[in-house]
Each structure stands twice: as structure tokens, then as C-alpha cells.
């Protein structure tokens, strides 16, 4: 096995910073304005990045610290910023994430918020919105750590211990697309299971054109539904690389005894099977016929398309949970994942990849965590991949340089249209990915051919 030179520096990172993930997650709580405590550039950069992917408004407020505040502390800015955001947006919730600036100077956000609630209640006419905070220094992990930290904070800080038992299910679906969220909601509805999906940015980041503009978009997980999470029948959490201390489901299990079903992101056949099996158990009924049909259609497609995909080699990169799901799926359809890479460093990636690939013959894929694109490209040299699966960031050096197709999944996708409508999850998501992959390979074959074959 070829090893790649270890670099101290990072060249073309395969991860983003923690507060970006937190802002994304906060955007999925109803009426919540994400708020970054730090320099104003953080909010501006992350807004620009998220907006490029979703082509939707994404407001992130900032405490806009200056040099003086960096020296004396950001308390005054945070308090003033909250007052302004709450006053103008009439926001029922604000999600406050820290940045490397405020973590380095050691601002104590929980204490500041405590004082804010005492001192500013009168200014807000006695109506204090929900203030959720999470610690997201950008030197501590990737955007996924920030995402999970924000989800966990929402649960831990909003959960009402006095909630009566109810037959709802808490669903922590992770960093998935708005289309994935809509699909999951349909699945649960068809099972007759009332679900609280957190975070739900399916409308807030994929909103309709309206006659009346709302400066806080509709949609999002209702605050009261999050408050009622301790009373739920069970929690389901997607992601094989979420460490227990990052898990929102673990908070509910450990504090309130809500049973937790930890599953992989349901990408492909087996991971979707695991979800539907769990749902059958929780609902106490068999899966609706439509899903048996979708599963059958997926298998039918896998048979029909096998000739195009069998034996092809793929490089997969992106968030750890996502690449595990994709690796599982590609292995199932006969594609050989030769390299599974992520900028994330949960430490759980190798084990998770092994778990989803062990039943397949041949060498397991190379697994690289904490890598950047420079290293991925270096590894790719010897691997001779036929296709690349990941976000837009691998286009230039991996796909274009080798003249092989890139199947765009995950985040960020800023060189294709409709990123928010890419379906990855469930049998239907697998079918969608399958079509994308097969068609990309057909197109490649067709374009490389000297004959203009119309049948392939």
C-alpha cells in the first residue's frame, strides 16, 4: 500500500469549519436566527458559502467584534447584538455559536446569556426568545462537529423534563439535503409514526417564491416539538461516526431514558433496510406496500444496470457519515470503492467503513481521515479510479484532471443546479444515485467512443 507523505499544512481542505455546521443546524429550528459570536467576517463568509449551495436566503447575525472587544471581551457586543436581532426579526429563537475569536479570548457565553436574560427582559417587553448556545471553536474539528454540537445543544437546552410520554419518534437525520428531509417525513407519515425531525431546514433552505416575503422563512422543527423530545417513544440518529459525546440521541437516552436507535445514514440497500426494519418495530406494523415496491424497483435497477457499473473503481470523499453510506451503497452495486476519504477526524471512520464493506470480496478500500484534497489527489494517482463521488470541491483536481465523471452529492455543490433537491436517502434515494452513476458512466463511454452510438 502506497503511503502519502504526511504534511503539517493543509492544502485544499476537505472540510469546513465548525460554526458553519452549527449555523446550518440552527437554520432547521423554526423561527431561529443563527448568530455567530465573533468577527463579522465569519458570518459573511459562511452565509456566502451556504447561499451558493442552496440559492436561498441565509441570514446569520454576528456580534461583530472589533479589536477593542477582542482585548476586553465580547459581552457588550453579544448583548447588543441579541437585542437588535430579537427586536427587528421578532425571532422566537436565536442559536448562538462561538468562533475561534471568542473561544480564544475565553468569552463565557452561558454566563453572558444568563445575564442577558435577567437584564434585558424588560427591553423585550417580557418576551424572552429561546436562546440556544453551543461552543464551536473552528480549531476544534470540522463543520460536522459544529453541526452535531448545535443539534445536541438544541436538544439539551430546550428539552422539557416534564413532558408527558407520547408516541412520537425523535429523528436526528444529520447533514442531509432538504429533499432527503422531505422524503424522511413522508416515510414516517406513511408508517403512521409522528416524527420530530431535527434539524428540519427543508423549507427554510428550499423555500417557495412567495407573494409575501418573510424575513424569517417558514418551516423548521417546531420549538415545542423539541421541548417534548424527552417524552418520545424512541430516538433514531443517523451517522456511524458520531461520537457519544456529540450525540443528541445520547442526551435523551442518558438523561430521560428515551431508547436510541443509532443507524448509519440510510444510503443504499442495506442501510435503508436497517431503517425500515427499525420503523417496522417502532410502528408495530409492516412497511407500507409503496416501500416494498421502491425496494423492488431498486433491486430491479441494480440487475439491469450491473453491466455498466460492475468492477468500476470509485473514490469517495466528504463528511464521514456521508462517505460511509456511499461506500456501503457503491459496494452493493458492484462498484469498488478504492479510496474513502474525509477531512473529518472522529477516529471512527475506518471501523465504520469496515462494517459496511466486510461482506464483499477483495481488498477493503483505503480509508483516509483527516486528509485534504492534495493527499487525495496524490493517492488517486495509483488507484486509477473510473469515477469520483463527492461535492464540488473535487471537480478540478480529481475529476477534470483525470477526465472521469464526478457524481455530485453532499455539500457544497456550487457548480450544478438544484443541490437542495438531490435525494440520497432511502430506496428512492438509492435509485436516484444509481441513475446518476449509471448515466454518468454511459455518458463517459459514449463521449469517448469514436462511433456515435445511440444505443448503449
DSSP codes joined into one string, 376-424: HHHHHHHH--SEEEE-GGGIIIIIIHHT--EEE-SS---SSS-GGG---
Q: Which of 25, 29, 46, 367 binds other proteins (CB under 8 A)?
A: 46
**Smallest separation, CB 93 to other proteins (Å):** 9
Residue count of the chain? 456
Minimum CB distance to other proteins smaller for 110 or for 218: 218
DSSP code of residue 129:
P
Q: CB of 447: closest distance to other proteins in angstroms?
A: 24
Cell digits of residue 112: 453572558
Which of residues 16 and 330 has its CB atom nearest to other proteins in the complex? 16
Close Cβ partners of 46 (under 8 Å, ≥ 6 residues apart): 19, 20, 23, 36, 60
* Distance set, CA 427 to CA 158, 269, 294, 419 (Å): 33, 6, 6, 19
* Cell numbers that stand for 349 in this block: 471512520
> Is residue 82 part of the contact set for other proteins (CB under 8 A)?
yes
CB of 414 to other proteins, least distance (A): 9
Residues 6+ apart with CB under 8 A from 318: 14, 326, 342, 390, 391, 409, 410, 411
Binder among 108, 186, 224, 447 for other proteins (CB under 8 A): 224
Contacts (CB under 8 A) with other proteins, residues 391-410 = 396-397
CB-wise, 202 or 327, nearer to other proteins? 202
44 touches other proteins (CB under 8 A): yes
Please state the closest distance from residue 278 (CB atom) to other proteins, in A. Answer: 30
Residue 232 CB, shortest distance to other proteins, in Å, is 19
Q: Is 116 in the site for other proteins (CB under 8 A)?
A: no
> Toward other proteins, which CB reaches closer, 43 or 287?
43
CB of 301 to other proteins, least distance (A): 34
Q: Which stretch binds other proteins (CB under 8 A): 57-65, 191-199, 264-272, 313-321?
A: 57-65
Spatial separation of the C-alpha atoms in residues 255 and 322, rounded to whole Å: 28
Q: Does 364 help bind other proteins (rule: CB under 8 A)?
A: no
Q: With CB under 8 A, what is the number of residues at the site for other proteins?
A: 87
- Least distance (Å) from other proteins to the CB of residue 186? 19
Contact in structure between 324 and 359 (CB atoms under 8 Å): no
Output phi, psi for 388, to 5 deg. Answer: -125, 135
Q: Which of 7, 192, 281, 443 binds other proteins (CB under 8 A)?
A: 7
45 near other proteins (CB under 8 A): yes
Stretch that binds other proteins, among 78-86, 316-324, 348-356, 432-440 (CB under 8 A): 78-86
* Cα angle, residue 120 at apex, residues 118 and 125 outer, rounded to 5°: 110
Q: Is 202 a binder of other proteins (CB under 8 A)?
A: no
Q: How many other C-beta atoms are found inside a 10 Å radius of the C-beta of residue 93?
A: 22
Least distance (Å) from other proteins to the CB of residue 368? Answer: 15
Compute the CA torsion angle 392, 397, 398, 404 (nearest 10 deg). Answer: 90
Binding range to other proteins, per CB under 8 A, among 80-88, 159-167, 307-315, 360-368: 80-88
Amino acid at each position: 500500500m502506497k503511503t502519502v507523505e504526511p504534511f503539517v499544512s493543509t492544502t485544499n481542505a476537505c472540510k469546513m469549519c465548525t460554526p458553519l455546521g452549527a449555523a446550518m443546524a440552527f437554520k432547521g429550528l423554526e423561527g431561529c436566527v443563527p448568530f455567530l459570536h465573533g468577527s463579522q467576517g465569519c458570518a459573511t463568509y459562511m452565509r456566502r458559502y451556504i447561499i451558493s449551495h442552496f440559492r436561498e436566503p441565509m441570514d446569520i447575525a454576528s456580534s461583530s467584534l472589533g479589536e477593542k472587544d477582542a482585548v476586553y471581551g465580547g459581552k457588550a457586543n453579544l448583548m447588543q447584538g441579541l437585542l437588535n436581532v430579537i427586536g427587528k426579526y421578532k425571532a422566537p429563537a436565536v442559536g448562538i455559536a462561538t468562533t475561534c475569536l471568542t473561544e480564544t479570548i475565553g468569552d463565557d457565553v452561558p454566563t453572558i446569556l444568563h445575564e442577558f436574560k435577567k437584564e434585558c427582559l424588560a427591553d423585550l417587553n417580557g418576551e424572552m426568545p429561546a436562546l440556544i448556545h453551543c461552543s464551536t471553536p473552528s480549531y476544534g474539528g470540522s463543520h460536522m462537529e459544529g453541526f452535531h454540537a448545535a443539534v445536541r445543544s438544541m436538544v439539551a437546552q430546550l428539552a422539557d423534563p416534564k413532558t408527558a410520554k407520547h408516541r412520537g419518534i425523535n429523528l436526528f437525520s444529520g447533514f442531509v439535503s432538504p429533499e432527503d428531509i422531505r422524503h424522511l417525513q413522508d416515510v414516517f407519515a406513511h408508517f403512521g409514526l409522528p416524527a420530530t425531525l431535527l434539524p428540519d431546514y427543508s423549507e427554510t433552505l428550499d423555500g417557495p417564491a412567495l407573494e409575501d416575503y418573510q424575513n424569517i422563512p417558514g418551516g423548521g422543527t417546531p420549538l415545542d416539538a423539541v421541548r417534548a423530545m424527552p417524552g418520545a417513544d424512541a430516538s433514531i440518529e443517523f451517522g456511524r461516526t458520531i461520537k457519544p459525546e456529540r450525540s443528541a440521541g445520547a442526551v435523551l437516552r442518558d438523561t430521560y431514558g428515551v431508547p436510541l436507535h443509532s443507524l448509519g445514514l440510510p444510503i443504499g440497500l442495506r442501510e435503508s433496510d436497517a431503517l425500515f426494519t427499525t420503523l417496522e418495530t417502532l410502528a408495530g406494523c409492516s412497511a407500507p406496500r409503496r416501500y416494498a415496491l421502491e425496494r423492488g424497483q431498486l433491486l430491479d435497477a441494480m440487475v439491469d444496470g450491473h453491466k455498466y457499473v460492475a468492477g468500476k473503481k470509485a473514490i469517495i470523499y466528504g463528511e464521514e457519515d456521508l462517505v460511509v453510506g456511499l461506500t456501503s451503497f457503491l459496494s452493493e452495486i458492484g462498484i469498488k470503492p478504492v479510496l474513502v476519504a474525509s477531512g473529518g477526524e472522529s477516529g471512527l471512520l475506518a471501523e465504520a467503513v469496515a462494517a459496511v464493506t466486510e461482506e464483499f470480496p477483495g481488498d477493503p478500500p483505503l480509508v483516509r481521515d483527516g486528509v485534504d484534497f492534495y493527499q487525495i489527489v496524490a493517492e488517486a494517482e495509483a488507484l486509477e479510479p473510473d469515477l469520483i463521488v463527492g461535492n464540488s470541491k473535487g471537480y478540478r483536481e480529481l475529476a477534470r484532471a483525470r477526465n472521469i465523471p464526478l457524481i455530485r452529492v453532499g455539500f457544497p455543490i456550487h457548480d450544478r443546479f438544484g443541490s437542495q433537491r438531490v435525494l440520497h436517502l432511502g430506496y428512492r434515494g438509492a435509485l436516484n444515485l444509481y441513475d446518476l452513476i449509471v448515466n454518468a458512466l454511459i455518458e463517459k463511454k459514449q463521449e469517448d467512443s469514436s462511433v456515435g452510438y445511440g444505443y448503449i
